[in-house]
Chain A
Amino acid sequence: MSARDNILARIAQARNPHAAVDVDNEIRRHSRGPVPPLEKDLVKRFCEQAVRLASDVVSAKTNSEVPDLVARYLNERRLPLKAVCWPSVASLDWRAAGIEAETRAARGDDLVGITGTFLGIAETGTLMQLSGTSTPAAVSLLPETHVAVVEKSQIVATMEDAWDRLRAEHGVLPRAVNFVSGPSRTADIEQTVTLGAHGPYRVLIIVVGGQDSDQ
């Protein structure tokens, strides 16, 4: 017998036959567990939680304001105005803001990565990103600075809501769903939190949408 057969046989033998559940049926229900109570204003909650987890958050009325905001952020920190970006944000007028943005796979020495996002999750101030040809995962990971553009209409309350949206819009999961909550960090040395471990040192989230687009 193979290891697989042995392991499964041992489990089946020990199982209480009366406790058996119909696994496929159970899974199909997607039943939700208890969710913490959240305030109504999800955009506000999203921004507050993102700041708590050390992301920088700014808002823009329209997408056209985004390049200037990014340029100002980079200038204030004396960071280079040179970035690798997702195809989904490549159409913004980066050049007008003085930013040299390239659409390609991220490299180890890229300093700034600019991405969109699939959804924002208000509960924890988290970005949810899906891997794919036009949304490569490494752009939000290799550079020292990650800039993410989120529209207000993309902000949902909880991760449960996010799974429902993903199922509705994509059917199956992409290779990687990455939830990003602030810059990479480590507390391995003397339990002292240090920002910037192997991923970005800083994350700038730009929340786009006017007052009237509030959900």
Chain B
Amino acid sequence: MQVTAMHFKRKAAENLHDEKLQRALERLQTNFVNGRAAANAQLPNFEEIRNAAAEIRRKVTENLDRYLLRFEQEATARGAVVHWAETPDDVNRIVADIARQYGLRKAVKSKSMVSEECALNDHLASQGVEVLETDLGEYILQLAKEPPSHIVAPVVHKSKEDISDLFEKKHRRTRTTQIAELCREAREILRPGFLSADLGISGGNFIIAETGSVLIVTNEGNGRLTTTLPRVHVAITGIEKVVPTLEDVTTLLRLLPRSATGQSITNYVSVLTGTKGKSDTDGAEHFHIILLDNGRSRLLGTELQPMLRCIRCGACMNHCPVYQNVGGHAYGWVYPGPMGSVLTPSFVGLANALDLPQASTFCGECAVVCPVKIPLPDLLRHLRTRQMEQRLRPWQERAALSVWSWMAQRPAVYAVGARIVARLLRLLAGDKKRLRYLIGVSEWTKGRDMPAPAGRTFRDLYKSGKTS
């Protein structure tokens, strides 16, 4: 997928004034934020399960190669073919080769964010393989030629009227704005696609080292159809998705749907292992599993390693005050919200996503809700440090921070400096005690007034023993 993360500020500003988008984002907050809270309240030992889940993911990231090798061994023993891909281009080439090898022309696909990293659909189309997205949200986006704006609810930015317009235009049927009828219409249009496809492409929420299985969770059933009906199944996932055992994946499954949508379990959980038996009437004859790196292994051994624990539930974006206001498209790549602000710079380069580590109020809510306890604010802060070190921030900002850092390391100078600045700001503010404009931070004062300091610094007050 094309990276537009460098346009974060402009896109965010546009989105703040998009009333329809703002209404859509409010719905997301009400449903997903409240849903998660209610679902977790029903697990009396939620925190204990969360600790166990974080520990499973931590253990895996520390021994990633060993678990991957065990996975490969088990999957191969069951007749699956495991492919390794360094880059999105590798994934595209491998899938196109598989299609050519078996003579496949028609693919159905269930939602896969990793395939979005690769822009797989475009590549396959160029190779003569038609791809039909079957997750309702992804199907709508395929019709609209838009990227997803949320990793769990990809079409959250669209209203039902938008979708009615789109369906009317593309399906040439009578327009309906009833959600249930829109869903039935999509089902009727997509069903023949499932029945005639010879290739099924899915993601993988987890891969299991013990059994060589790929696990996918879906609500719509499209994941099951995609992996049951076509004669070839290709699952594409990131190398970090491996978990040791069926017991471990069960622990993670207690948290993934609850954190994502507030469900105790998704409608379907499918654990897929190997190929169909000779006398079976359904199931894929050939099963290929593609493991994509694309920058993941480079996070190991760095401060960003905890990011590889991520299970893609979306809770961090649902609870993020920045995401809640600017929406997913502003982030300019596959993964939005706090997790995206860490992943995008890591995968596409810090210089291509300069604003993302800054797109945070550091309120810390993302770390509070993360089911695998990824310290997201710490990771974002680390990326900011890297930006300073690599001189990727504007010179004014770097100069200001250098001055501040120099002073902060010299308490006496800091005390004098703070005193001067506090008094100066009070003078400038005058009777209103508010600053409507402040040189150097005019972007910040454009949207709000800065309250003037009281005139005395904390140190002064502390010394004189007064509290106000």
Q: Which residues of A contact B (CB under 8 A)?
A: 2-4, 6-8, 10-16, 19-21, 23-24, 26-27, 30-34, 36-37, 49, 52-53, 104-106, 108, 124, 126, 131-133, 136-138, 141-142, 158-160, 163, 172-192, 194, 196-200
In the complex, what residue of chain A is closest to B67 when comparing beta carbons?
A: A23
> Assuming the A-B contacts A11-B64, A136-B282, A138-B282, are A189 and B52 also in contact, with contact meaning beta carbons closer than 8 angstroms in the complex?
no
Q: Bits for B200-236, please: 1 = Cβ < 8 Å to A, else 0.
A: 0000000001110100000111101101110000000
Give the contact stretch, choosing among B175-183, B342-350, B425-433, B446-454.
Answer: B175-183
Using Cβ atoms and an 8 Å threshold, which residues of chain A touch B66?
Answer: 20-21, 23
Beta-carbon contact of B190 and A198 below 8 Å: yes
Q: Bits for B247-275, please: 1 = Cβ < 8 Å to A, else 0.
A: 11011011000000100111111111111
In the complex, what residue of chain A is closest to B251 when comparing beta carbons?
A: A33
Beta-carbon contact of B134 and A198 below 8 Å: yes
CB of B169, distance to nearest CB on chain A (Å): 16
| A181 to B302 alpha-carbon distance, docked (Å) | 40
Asked if B187 is at the interface of the complex by the 8 Å CB criterion, the answer is yes
Beta-carbon contact of B69 and A8 below 8 Å: yes
| A16 to B305 alpha-carbon distance, docked (Å) | 12
Using Cβ atoms and an 8 Å threshold, which residues of chain B touch A142?
Answer: 225
Tally of contacts, chain A with chain B, CB under 8 A: 259
- The 20 sampled A-B contact pairs (Cβ below 8 Å) are A3-B85, A7-B297, A8-B69, A14-B300, A15-B300, A16-B301, A19-B62, A23-B209, A23-B244, A32-B247, A34-B52, A137-B283, A175-B276, A179-B269, A180-B268, A181-B267, A185-B267, A189-B155, A197-B222, A198-B220
Q: Which of B31, B84, B247, B301 contacts A31 (CB 8 A)?
A: B247
Beta-carbon contact of B63 and A15 below 8 Å: yes
Q: Which of B90, B244, B268, B291 contacts A184 (CB 8 A)?
A: B268
Beta-carbon contact of A197 and B244 below 8 Å: no
Beta-carbon contact of A131 and B282 below 8 Å: yes
Beta-carbon contact of A34 and B69 below 8 Å: no
Asked if B194 is at the interface of the complex by the 8 Å CB criterion, the answer is yes
In the complex, what residue of chain A is closest to B213 when comparing beta carbons?
A: A173
Beta-carbon contact of B86 and A133 below 8 Å: no
> Assuming the A-B contacts A15-B301, A133-B281, are A141 and B225 also in contact, with contact meaning beta carbons closer than 8 angstroms in the complex?
yes
| A188 to B246 alpha-carbon distance, docked (Å) | 29
Beta-carbon contact of B44 and A27 below 8 Å: no
| A209 to B420 alpha-carbon distance, docked (Å) | 83
Beta-carbon contact of A198 and B194 below 8 Å: yes
Beta-carbon contact of A3 and B283 below 8 Å: no
Q: Which of A16, A21, A33, A175 contacts B250 (CB 8 A)?
A: A33
Q: Which of A10, A133, A173, A197 contacts B183 (CB 8 A)?
A: A197
| A31 to B187 alpha-carbon distance, docked (Å) | 41
Q: Which of B159, B219, B281 contacts A190 (CB 8 A)?
A: B159
Beta-carbon contact of A4 and B84 below 8 Å: yes
Instruction: Name which of A12, A163, A191 has the most chain B CB atoms within 10 A of its CB.
Output: A191
| A32 to B87 alpha-carbon distance, docked (Å) | 35
Q: Which of A8, A31, A33, A188 contacts B53 (CB 8 A)?
A: A33
In the complex, what residue of chain B is closest to A192 when comparing beta carbons?
A: B179
Using Cβ atoms and an 8 Å threshold, which residues of chain B touch A31?
Answer: 245, 247
Beta-carbon contact of B225 and A198 below 8 Å: yes
> Assuming the A-B contacts A10-B298, A188-B155, are A175 and B283 also in contact, with contact meaning beta carbons closer than 8 angstroms in the complex?
yes
In the complex, what residue of chain B is closest to A18 when comparing beta carbons?
A: B62
Q: Which of B187, B245, B280, B301 contacts A27 (CB 8 A)?
A: B245
Asked if B43 is at the interface of the complex by the 8 Å CB criterion, the answer is yes
Instruction: Name which of A137, A141, A163, A198 has the most chain B CB atoms within 10 A of its CB.
Output: A198
- Chain B stretch 117-147: residues in CB contact (< 8 A) with chain A: 134-137, 140
CB of A39, distance to nearest CB on chain B (Å): 12
> Assuming the A-B contacts A7-B293, A15-B300, are A137 and B228 also in contact, with contact meaning beta carbons closer than 8 angstroms in the complex?
yes
Using Cβ atoms and an 8 Å threshold, which residues of chain B touch A141?
Answer: 221, 224-225, 228
Using Cβ atoms and an 8 Å threshold, which residues of chain A touch B391?
Answer: none
Q: Which of B28, B49, B277, B279 contacts A191 (CB 8 A)?
A: B28
Asked if B154 is at the interface of the complex by the 8 Å CB criterion, the answer is yes
CB of A124, distance to nearest CB on chain B (Å): 4
Using Cβ atoms and an 8 Å threshold, which residues of chain B touch A182?
Answer: 267
Using Cβ atoms and an 8 Å threshold, which residues of chain B touch A163?
Answer: 246-247, 250
Beta-carbon contact of A21 and B59 below 8 Å: yes
| A24 to B71 alpha-carbon distance, docked (Å) | 11
Instruction: Name which of A49, A104, A187 has the most chain B CB atoms within 10 A of its CB.
Output: A187
| A175 to B275 alpha-carbon distance, docked (Å) | 6
19 new A-B contacts, CB < 8 A, other than A33-B251, A186-B220, are A14-B302, A15-B65, A20-B63, A23-B244, A27-B244, A30-B247, A34-B45, A108-B191, A136-B280, A138-B282, A173-B211, A176-B227, A176-B271, A176-B273, A177-B270, A188-B135, A189-B182, A190-B24, A199-B221
| A180 to B90 alpha-carbon distance, docked (Å) | 35
Using Cβ atoms and an 8 Å threshold, which residues of chain A touch B44?
Answer: 36-37
Asked if B418 is at the interface of the complex by the 8 Å CB criterion, the answer is no
Beta-carbon contact of B179 and A194 below 8 Å: yes
CB of A145, distance to nearest CB on chain B (Å): 13
> Assuming the A-B contacts A27-B210, A185-B267, are A173 and B229 also in contact, with contact meaning beta carbons closer than 8 angstroms in the complex?
no
Asked if B195 is at the interface of the complex by the 8 Å CB criterion, the answer is yes
In the complex, what residue of chain A is closest to B45 when comparing beta carbons?
A: A34
Using Cβ atoms and an 8 Å threshold, which residues of chain B touch A26?
Answer: 59, 244
- Chain B stretch 75-112: residues in CB contact (< 8 A) with chain A: 78, 84-86, 90
| A182 to B85 alpha-carbon distance, docked (Å) | 37
Beta-carbon contact of A178 and B70 below 8 Å: no
| A104 to B248 alpha-carbon distance, docked (Å) | 36
